[in-house]
Amino acid sequence: MFESIAVVGATGAVGNLIRSLLDERKFPHEQIKFLASARSAGKTIEFQGRKHKVEELRPEAFDGVELAIGSTPDPVAKEFVPWAVERGCVVVDESGYWRMDPKVPLVIPEVNPEAAFNHQGVIASPNCSTTQMVVAMKPLHDAGRITRVVVSTYQATSGAGVGGQRDLENGSRAALHGSTHKYETFAHPIAFNLIPQIGSPKHAGYTSEEMKMVDETHKILGDNTIRICPTCVRVPVLNCHSESILVETERKITAEEARELFANFPGIKVVDDLAKGRYPKPSDCDGDDAVFIGRIREDLSYDNGLAFWCVSDNLRKGAATNAVQIAELLDRT
């Protein structure tokens, strides 16, 4: 058991969820502290029936802390993680800053738990869109080795933070009433619209979000030969990312076998009955820690192809839940 733990970015949307999950899952600890920017320092938050004062994120805040779970912007993670590690603290980091560092394991507990134990003080949690796709890929990859993936994401506004959700709500209200809304997060209107760009231009016409899905998948599965073609789209949904995924495998996997593989894999829930209109929808998956899979079918254009639909709560399994699960892995050793 860790004697002293900390939540970094404790007042943010994911930080709030991390706090709730530590409570719900009864994560063992003796002491806990909540760290945030100077702007939030001094605020009072409640955890397990006790009031705690938020402390300012600074090097001395990690004195005596054994484990920290962080959800902060990349520049903040770049700065605070070395402070913590220098003081003997293990950091589970939600930001994108450390993910592709060769010395930092990138971990999804259902997929590559062993990697967590090779850390040098830092363990990274993957991007939300990568996480649900790789959880879905893992049982198929183990059974038939995936050689190629074509994925289109339908990403909720919560992936862009609270401001993104405000843009959707206020922009929709304005559009319905014939007025205008000044968007604070998105470069284009998201209300009644789709934006086929998430992140900045990165490589050969692909965005930074799309390249995260390529690079992080290769690192997590330890297989750089898997060919991945991603398209990431922001959609007018408040929460839960959806993905249309087509995989090609060395060994043919039938739809029936895939359903069984998915159903027996930890963290996956299968909802797949087209005749009865049963398949995963963001409105049904919100607030759940699972990766939901449906519309499982064999590719009509390629013998060893398999298509399916995948939905997951990007704030939970895509962020907070995965980080807490990594912490639980460490606690069990």
The type of residue at 162 is: V
Smallest CA-to-CA distance from 164 within 92, 234, 232 is with: 234
The span from the CA of 100 to the CA of 54, in Å, is 30
* CA atoms of 51 and 63, how far apart (whole Å): 21
In one letter, which amino acid is 158? S
Would you list the DSSP string of 19-71?
Answer: HHHHHHTT--EEEEEEEE-TTTTT-EEEETTEEEEPEE--GGGGTT--EEEE-
**Which of 119, 141, 181, 241 does the annotation list as catalytic?**
241
Cα 203 off chain centre by: 22
Per-residue three-class SS string for 224-267: CCCEEEEEEEECCCCCCEEEEEEEEECCCCCHHHHHHHHHCCCC
Element containing residue 98 per DSSP (H, E):
none
Catalytic-residue membership of 241:
yes
Residue among 89, 119, 128, 232 flagged as catalytic:
128
* 197 bridge partner residues: none
Q: Where would I find the beta strands (DSSP E) of the chain?
A: 2-8, 29-36, 44-47, 50-53, 55-56, 67-70, 90-93, 122-124, 146-155, 201-203, 206-207, 227-234, 241-249, 268-270, 291-298, 305-312
CB half-sphere exposure, 18, CA atoms < 13 A: 33
Residue 274: partners with Cβ closer than 8 Å, 6 or more residues away: 295
- Is 132:234 a contact under the CB 8 Å cutoff? no
Q: What's the one-letter identity of residue 134?
A: V
Backbone angles phi, psi at 298, to 5 degrees: -80, 145
**Quick check: is 89 catalytic?**
no
Active site residues: 128, 241
